């Protein structure tokens, strides 16, 4: 008798039917096919980063540089080079040549870097760190050479910003002060003058006025302030402006209350308006040409914003823990929410449409549906910074964001001309 004849009929009845769609081989082929039609951030060559690939046209151009969470970035003048810090003590310089390629690593700091700014005309990079130091980097003989700055702070530096004329820069710190640094030719080094009063907590953010003298400062004492940062050694004597007429160094011109610690401040292109975002999920604005005491504050339903930037004289972009840039408009000197700039695309098919179907699938297949933790936004974690990319300061066309998810995203405002005022 053959083996088939020896089989007991009861054994044949007990043979379980195997669905080929539930075999490991099918699952592997299905997963492989899904990955081929999804976003891909893998570089074509080792050491290079290419733009993501997707079936169809991606809504926003973006890159994953493969260095981890990015807390700050800076562009050179022609936007062909990018400096980024991945929450470490190193600065990575990338060059665009069809794809991003790492060209230099600046590793003079000892602790995580908290701020980077790239002067477009002098081609100098300034950086600050938790190690209480700041360096000015100059490109010579195909190398970036650091120059130590005498910042004179006893706690971590938190932010840094070049002035519009690039002859000085400001450094915020946990020492409850701002150091305004300039180059002293006689001694061939960078020295600092300090603004202290009446700051009562850590300085979190800075922004320069277009006249190269006024400085916007945000701090954890629930205040945004405007100071005179006039340095007679490098600046011409300034004239009066709507913020004030007396402009000696360190003079407080405006003290603006907030309902939370201030994450970011930004002057408008004309310099007449100052906007700031706070940890209470609010965005505020004041116009010095109207009334400094008349503050327009908009309490939003969103998570707190980390960054704010004027894209025109009447439009502001803010972004933060909601992982999406949002556009606000100024109408009759009042802030209004315009729209979200990151609009998720509609899913073509959904495997689970209701709670009833979830339970039915669980009962039928004896397996639970996988939980999808991916956000509907491009950034998958908090946005940490907004920088201008293309266009004039009073008519910004493109801007970039960086985030804790490691992405650099390039946003085009041409498609939102109807809402950008």
- Give the pLDDT mean for 197-226: 97
pLDDT value at 25 more than 90: no
Between CA 218 and CA 227, with CA 223 as vertex, the angle to 5 degrees is: 60
The CA-atom distances, in angstroms, between 370 and each of 190, 295, 304, 325 are: 57, 48, 30, 29
- CATH fold group of domain 278-343+378-420: Methylamine Dehydrogenase; Chain H (2.130.10)
Could you report the per-residue pLDDT of 278-301, keeping only the tens digit for each? 999 999 999 999 999 999 999 999
CA atoms within a 13 Å half-sphere pointing along the CA-CB vector of 342 = 24
Asked if 208 contacts 215 with a C-beta cutoff of 8 angstroms, the reply is yes
pLDDT value at 6 more than 80: no
Please state, in angstroms and rounded to a whole number, the distance separating the CA atoms of residues 311 and 6.
83
Nearest 10 degrees: CA dihedral of 288, 278, 319, 275? 0
Please state, in angstroms and rounded to a whole number, the distance separating the CA atoms of residues 267 and 212.
12
End-to-end CA gap in the chain: 90
Predicted TM-score (pTM) of this structure? 0.81
The CA-atom distances, in angstroms, between 166 and each of 89, 122, 271 are: 24, 7, 17
Q: Which residues, at least 6 apart from 148, have a Cβ–Cβ distance to it below 8 Å? A: 133, 134, 135, 189, 190
Residue with tokens 């809402």: 419
Residue 374 pLDDT class (50, 70, 90 cuts): confident
CA atoms within a 13 Å half-sphere pointing along the CA-CB vector of 354 = 3
H-helix or E-strand spanning residue 9: helix 9-14
- Give the pLDDT mean for 227-237: 95
């Amino acid at each position: 008798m053959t083996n088939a004849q020896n089989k007991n009929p009861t054994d044949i009845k007990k043979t379980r039917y195997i669905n080929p769609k539930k075999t490991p081989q099918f699952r592997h082929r299905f997963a492989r096919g899904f990955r081929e039609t999804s976003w891909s951030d893998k570089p074509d060559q080792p050491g290079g980063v290419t733009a993501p690939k997707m079936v169809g046209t991606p809504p926003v151009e973006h890159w994953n540089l493969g260095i981890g969470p990015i807390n700050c970035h800076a562009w050179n003048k022609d936007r062909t080079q990018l400096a980024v810090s991945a929450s470490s003590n190193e600065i990575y310089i990338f060059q665009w040549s069809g794809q991003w390629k790492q060209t230099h690593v600046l590793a003079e700091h000892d602790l995580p870097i908290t701020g980077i700014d790239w002067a477009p005309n002098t081609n100098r990079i300034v950086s600050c760190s938790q190690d209480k130091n700041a360096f000015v980097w100059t490109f010579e003989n195909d190398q970036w050479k650091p120059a130590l700055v005498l910042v004179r702070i006893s706690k971590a530096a938190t932010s840094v910003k070049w002035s519009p004329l690039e002859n000085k820069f400001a450094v915020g710190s946990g020492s409850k002060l701002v150091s305004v640094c300039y180059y002293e030719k006689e001694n061939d080094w960078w020295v600092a003058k300090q603004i202290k009063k009446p700051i009562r907590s850590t300085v979190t953010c800075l922004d320069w006025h277009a006249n190269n003298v006024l400085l916007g400062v945000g701090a954890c004492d629930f205040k945004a302030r405007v100071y005179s940062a006039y340095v007679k050694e490098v600046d011409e004597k300034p004239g009066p402006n709507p913020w004030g007429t007396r402009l000696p160094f360190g003079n407080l011109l405006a003290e603006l209350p907030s309902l939370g610690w201030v994450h970011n401040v930004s002057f408008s292109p004309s310099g007449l308006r100052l906007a700031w975002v706070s940890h209470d999920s609010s965005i505020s604005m004041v116009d010095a040409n109207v009334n400094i005491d008349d503050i327009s504050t908009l309490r939003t339903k969103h998570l707190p914003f980390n960054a704010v930037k004027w894209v025109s004289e009447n439009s502001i972009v803010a972004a933060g823990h909601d992982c999406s840039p949002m556009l606000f408009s100024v109408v009759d000197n009042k802030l209004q929410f315009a729209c979200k700039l990151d609009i998720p695309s509609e899913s073509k098919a959904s495997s689970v449409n209701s709670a009833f179907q979830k339970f039915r699938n669980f009962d039928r297949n004896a397996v639970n549906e996988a939980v999808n933790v991916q956000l509907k936004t491009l950034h998958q974690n908090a946005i940490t910074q907004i920088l201008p990319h293309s266009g004039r300061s009073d008519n910004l066309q493109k801007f970039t964001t960086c985030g804790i998810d490691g992405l650099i995203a390039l946003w085009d405002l041409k498609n939102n001309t109807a809402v950008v005022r």
